[in-house]
Structure 1
Amino acid sequence: MARGALWRSPDFLRLWAAQSISETGTQVSMLAIPLLAIGVLQVSAAELGLLGAARTLPFLLFALPAGALLDRMRRRPVMVFADFARAALLATIPVAHAFGALTLWHLFCVVALVGLLTVFFDVAYQSFLPSLVDRAQLTEGNAKLTTTRSAAEVIGPGVAGTLVGAIGAAVTIVVDAVSYLLSGLLCWRIRREEPVSTTGGAPRSLRREIVEGLVFVVRHPLLGRIGICAGLTNFASSMTTVLLPLYMVRSLGYSPGLVGLVLAIAGLGLVVGAVCAARLSTRFGVGRTIVGSAIASGAGLVLIPFAGPALSLPFLIAGKVLFGLSVPLFNIAQISLRQAVTPHRLLGRMNASMRFLVWSTISLGSLAAGLLGEVFGMRAALVVASVIGALSWLALMWSPVPRLRELPSELPA
């Protein structure tokens, strides 16, 4: 398949459009829900950390069985159900707020259930992509998906900040509910079906399949090291994500609109990184792209704690732009690598195992952010996050990753 042929693939374009719309809505609610909790429910830093953990904790608890189950079934119907269910759950927040019945426990429950459905959707769509595109098009396909995801991270916070200021945080969450509804309709229209792994009718143990996928990732000389690096980066990034809105509002005196504007401007790095990812990976090699982007992302996190009451905007924007530039470079290269080296029958379990290893640290980072923020202060907690992020790339050294030029089709010697 020639480069650019994905523009002529209706099914890929439907998946791309679905992901683009839902990601934009997700970015809106990722800012609107914390602002709702801060402004209406007057939550503390610890409670905000628990709310952040509730969003990602399902990856720790359910990613592994989700991967094993998805390797037994077709993924598209799961994606459609997950989208429609997430839309319905989020719609309950503005309804509860309108009747004066909104509580922190309500937010915990909705965020956790949406997180559970996101586990199934994310593992399903990453495992479904190799059935939609040729192996040679994996990097291009992942680059397109990541570009629009990055664009959503630019557009979403700005839109959220504006809408929260204009119509309130609760009503703003409706935008995300509608985005999931549209995404579900687009996924429903995808016609290509992927093959389902078969075992000749023999009964299969879910536990054995989970262990098989986890062992494949942990023992793989490439995937295991990438998982450690990504896990440490996500731990540090999660701490920053939880604390930064609260730090900007309460310590720096930023308005919701300014918070959204800062995150939107900083998100330009995400778009630039996603657009350039395929070209840079070709020029420098897959391995060097992964290592270099991991180093740069840590450097971006280091700049953020320098933002203080006297001078904050330059450090916040520079740090977030550098981090944002690096993340899509890292993700596009490593996700394409994961998909290329994994047998089809293990795709669901591989993606789920990586999500478990990588996203579980996000939950732990959210909890750590709340605890450290309460005990030592938000700025001190941001310093801890920056140190962890700055050291994450060391997990890739003395492994085959830096030597990779192209996507391998089998384990390197």
Structure 2
Amino acid sequence: MISLLPVVSSDPMRPETVPPRFPRSSPYWAVLSHPMLRRILPGLAVSALGDGMAVVAVSWLAWQLAPPERSGTWVAIAVAAYTLPSVVGTLVFGRRLARFSGARLAGWDATLRAAALAAIPLAHAFGMLTLWLYVVLLACSSLLHSWGSAGRYTLIAEALPQRHHLAGNAVLSTVAEVAAIGGPPLAGLLISWGGAVWVIAIDAGTFAVLALTYHRAVPSVDRPVPAPVGVSRTAGFGVIRRQPNLLGLLTLSFGFFFLFGPVYVALPLYIAHDLNASAALLGTYYLAFGAGALVGAMATGYVRRWSLWTVTIGIVVGFGLTMLPLGLGAPPGLSLLSFAVGGAIWAPYVPTAMALFQRSTTAANRTQVLAANGAVTVVAVPAGTMLGGPLVSALGARKALLFCAIAIITFGVLATGYTVSRRRTPAVDDSMLTGRGGVISR
């Protein structure tokens, strides 16, 4: 007689019990194998490389266009114009853009960037490019930058289940770190060959590729949950203000980036004056930091089972500790190694912070909150950099680096103490601080 009962295998290694092998076991498999994300990642990589080249080209073209006696001022204005107007865009367009999907917002940002940046070489070709027109076009290109960044992280939250948000954010950071390493040297070669204006033209082309990628690979639909009627332009800031965990996270990010800002002033002067070394050593420091950051970004997905609040605050304290050898005047070999470790510690910060924001928001307010976060944090590093001049003048380059290291460590310790005190307060839901359960549960 033939039994109709199902046969249960006694083999403990039958296929359904075998753990997945690499690459399926990687936390990034769900991201890289996602049908939509794997189509847009090449466009993001091309665009990130173009932005890496623009870091050099934007300031170099400003230097070429400016009169020699005011070149420093105009370089600073051009660099600011390429980032800071996004704050204005966050406020001005908050009511109109709040209801759109992450893909559409990111696509519009890429389209505006492509058009505004392409106008720069076009004006140059017709002999019409002036300093003021250059700055205005850079400012126009950055108007939707906060919305575009918010759109990318919203797209990750829309496309992936919550447990894969951190890995998705880490992939975006890894792409950015690769571009940060490869973009500037490539820009230097292209500038020596054809001029900075044509590097900006290439950057415009990379954004055009990204815009086309979003248009063809991602359904252009509004979010399923529309924004409330009559939403305020500052609704994202309102959500952050009403949620202590989000306000604390935004404060942590701003303080961390602000206290790092003076390093951009102090480090070159420390190398030139204190060490009496050349720009090649400065480039080596940045290369070490970038290489470490690439490793850190690739490793970020593996901390998904940890408390993200603990990781995020630990990054601040750990990074400050890696800055101490520079501030204490350690030999270059030791401080280079420490700077590379600092890059590895720094890299997971944005992915983990974005994961906390993604888990603490809803589909109706996520893009507004992320755009508000971007508008505040984009100001932090430039503001800290402006502080670097007076700080170096008052303390000297090495002591300014030591001040930044101690300030970052102190800030992280204070954030730790505040978080612990909030967890011990009965009125505060522990899940809001640890990343477990509640609105930010895995």
Larger helix fraction of residues: 1
Deviation of the 1:96 alpha carbon: 4.9
Picking from 160, 167, 177, the partner of 1:150 is 177
Matched-pair contact (CA < 8 Å) for 1:49–1:366: no
Q: CA 1:374/1:184 → structure 2, altered by over 3 Å: closer, same or farther? A: farther
Listed as ranges, the gaps of 5+ residues in structure 2 are: 1-23, 424-429
Distance, in Å, in 2 between the alignment partners of 1:175 and 1:296 is: 38
1:25 corresponds to 2:50: yes
Counterpart residue number, 2:369: 350
Deviation of the 1:194 alpha carbon: 5.1
Deviation of the 1:273 alpha carbon: 0.7
Counterpart residue number, 2:149: 122
Counterpart code for 1:410: V
Listed as ranges, the gaps of 5+ residues in structure 1 are: none
Q: CA 1:52/1:348 → structure 2, altered by over 3 Å: closer, same or farther? A: same
Distance, in Å, in 2 between the alignment partners of 1:102 and 1:338 is: 41
Matched-pair contact (CA < 8 Å) for 1:89–1:110: yes
Picking from 159, 162, 175, the partner of 1:135 is 162
Distance, in Å, in 2 between the alignment partners of 1:231 and 1:377 is: 24
Matched-pair contact (CA < 8 Å) for 2:293–2:343: yes
Range with greater deviation from structure 2 (371-380 or 354-363): 371-380
Deviation of the 1:187 alpha carbon: 0.9
Matched-pair contact (CA < 8 Å) for 1:62–1:116: yes
Deviation of the 1:294 alpha carbon: 1.1
Matched-pair contact (CA < 8 Å) for 2:102–2:367: no
Matched-pair contact (CA < 8 Å) for 2:320–2:409: yes
Q: CA 1:153/1:314 → structure 2, altered by over 3 Å: closer, same or farther? A: farther
TM-score normalised per structure 2: 0.76
Counterpart code for 1:331: V
Distance, in Å, in 2 between the alignment partners of 1:249 and 1:101 is: 38
Counterpart residue number, 1:273: 296
Counterpart residue number, 1:178: 205
Matched-pair contact (CA < 8 Å) for 1:162–1:260: no
Picking from 365, 372, 376, the partner of 2:384 is 365
Counterpart code for 1:195: R
Cα deviation per residue 1:310-336 (whole Å; 9 max; x = unaligned)? x76864x44642332122212111211
Deviation of the 1:250 alpha carbon: 9.8
Matched-pair contact (CA < 8 Å) for 1:151–1:270: no
> Of the two, which has the highest radius of gyration?
2
Counterpart residue number, 2:7: none
Counterpart code for 2:173: T
Counterpart residue number, 1:398: 418
Q: Which has the higher contact order (CA 8 A, sep 6+)?
A: 1
The correspondence of residues 4-403 of structure 1 with structure 2, limited to 5 A, is: 4-38=29-63, 41=66, 42=68, 43=70, 45-96=72-123, 102-192=129-219, 193=221, 195-198=223-226, 203-207=229-233, 210-211=234-235, 213-241=236-264, 254=278, 262-282=285-305, 284-303=306-325, 315=335, 317-318=336-337, 320-369=339-388, 385-393=404-412, 394-399=414-419
Of all paired residues, the percent bearing the same amino acid is 22
Counterpart code for 2:181: V
Counterpart code for 1:298: G
Task: Please report the RMSD computed on the Cα atoms of aligned residues, expressed in angstroms.
Answer: 3.7
Range with greater deviation from structure 2 (52-61 or 367-376): 367-376
Deviation of the 1:165 alpha carbon: 3.9
Deviation of the 1:271 alpha carbon: 1.1
TM-score normalised per structure 1: 0.81
Distance, in Å, in 1 between the alignment partners of 2:392 and 2:151 is: 35
Distance, in Å, in 2 between the alignment partners of 1:33 and 1:135 is: 37
Counterpart code for 1:219: R
